[in-house]
Structure 1
Amino acid sequence: MAPTLEAAAQDAESIQDVLTNPLKQKPSLIAPEPEHCPGPESEKAGLADSCAGCPNQKICASAPKGPDPDIPLITARLSGIKHKILILSGKGGVGKSTFTSLLAHAFATNPDTTIGVMDTDICGPSIPKMLGVESETIHVSSAGWSPAWAMDNLAVMSIQFMLPNKDDAIIWRGPKKNGLIKQFLKDVEWGDLDFLLVDTPPGTSDEHLSVNTFLKESQIDGAVVVTTPQEVALLDVRKEIDFCRKAGIKILGLVENMSAFVCPKCTHSSEIFKATTGGGRALAQEMGIPFLGSVPLDPRIGMACDYGESFFDSFPDSPACKALKGVVRGLATNLSLDPGTVMPED
């Protein structure tokens, strides 16, 4: 009989403990947990009366307990950032990193707005390539790590800047990835930003839990969830929405990416990924979350990302540009900001 995750899925307390203490590592015990054990992750581990004589007592007593001491340092470091937004999708291949780069460039069209992009996709860092800073390296000063600047008002931080070779694979377990994300928040000199966009990998696991934990005290404004129209993508996006609700992350809105193909010459629109169940708009209505808009697929977006150029500067008349500007204005409204100030009319 194949093993199942049914018991774990039904254990609400276990799920809540992971959300509350996602970075807590269970100590490696040298003997089975005895009867009446308070639990190796308990605050009383190794200190309770029932721990006397247990072979694990010293291990449990020396295990880290209590809140992470670096969280106040992270909160202080990020105090100059007005709005922190996560870009999420439970599904890979929906163009989430591409959307993040487009959203950053959309915000950056306003010279009075300063944006930071933090790439937490540790194993597949594509943001530097899309923003044209792939060859940059990290500079360290007494104030911390300096992000790379793609534009005068657009800063970027990614593990790509640390790799000796751009083709090197990142083969890390969760704790090491969590440690790097902490450094991106604690040691990077972000300065004063209007928006920090956090690009995350697919799923609902390590990186997402770490970012949520580290940013909880400094306040996350919320998340933008990205999907494509077909039901295969929507299945995983529903899980991402459920994750946000369990983790207490406000959903600022859902964006349907690659909603249709737009011919660059005649601007005729054709459905590539047909929405068999209503697509992103129907999902947003079903889940009771704001729908920010549909962004069509323009092949010139891929070309702009390959060359690290701003799609808004190169192809301002594209229907995709107009759709993205609508997304930005909708996002501004959900952040209680003036849409006309965040994204001025042309």
Structure 2
Amino acid sequence: MYKNNSVVVVVPAYDEETQIARVIETMPDIVDMIVIVNDRSRDQTSEVIRQHPQYGAGRVTLLEHEVNQGVGGAIATGYMWSRDHDYDVAVVMAGDGQMDPDDLPAILDPVVDGQADYTKGNRLVTGEAFKKIPKVRFFGNSALSLLTKIASGYWHVADSQTGYTAINRSALRAIDWDNMYKRYGQPNDLLVKLNVAEMRVIDVPIEPVYNVGEKSGINVRKAIFTIGSLLIRLFFWRLKEKYIIRNFHPLVFFYAMSFFGVGLSAALFIRLIALWVGQGHIPEITFLSWLFSFSLGFNSLFFAMWFDYEENKHLNPPLKHREIKRKPRPG
């Protein structure tokens, strides 16, 4: 229990036989139950879990997928178990030991104190992030985080790809986990759906943890394009659900004008270059048409984003400062 709230930690695991025992052993006492979802591992992950003393003591529950569903599918399975067993807060911590247990109270506090429905760890705001996170992953994460801000409407949420999160009972019941995105885009998909459900989300600074024996299965370059295309679809889905179906907002007209204006200006720019190359000069009407469409597109885009920011500001409450006490690491 933590501040009279029951806490379950969901641990998605895939080929983590070397790391999973450490995750169990370092789990803080405030955690009531550890639910490990073995996503059809090819190694001895399940055997290591079953042989652990805490499994026999009843503090560890093992769920096993018959078919590999990806990290998002494993998290969704754990969330549904947490919802069905009526826990107050469900936390996600990876099975590779990359989440610092010392950060857990900071992740939990905004949720149990009623400030937020969902918290996300943010590794990018600490002074050590650029030094500790591999550079390709750092820049890839930063790019996806920027796109996620636009797609989700949570303009103050960064480090969209971190898996260190906490979610309360209300949010667990508000999301359709059966239709959750199954792969590495799950955190992005969830943020969009939380926004449509009017759930409050807060970023919590956490310590980046690398080189503890983890093996990354992410192809960063491929993930950027895959998750990027997912975010485009989610953006339009959110506009439809939130601003047309559930509650109308005129910002949809500004977004529509921006897409029209930017598309038209791109076509006119190509024509402008073709005329310059072919004739050596640009007709005045072509240049003015391009300038008008460019101004229309980008002004409409900025107004639409500003309206979206204002509409969602109440879902991004500020984090109350809290000092995190860390245990000294060996070595």
TM-based fold match above 0.5: no
More strand by share: 1
TM-score w.r.t. the length of structure 1 is 0.28
More helix by share: 2
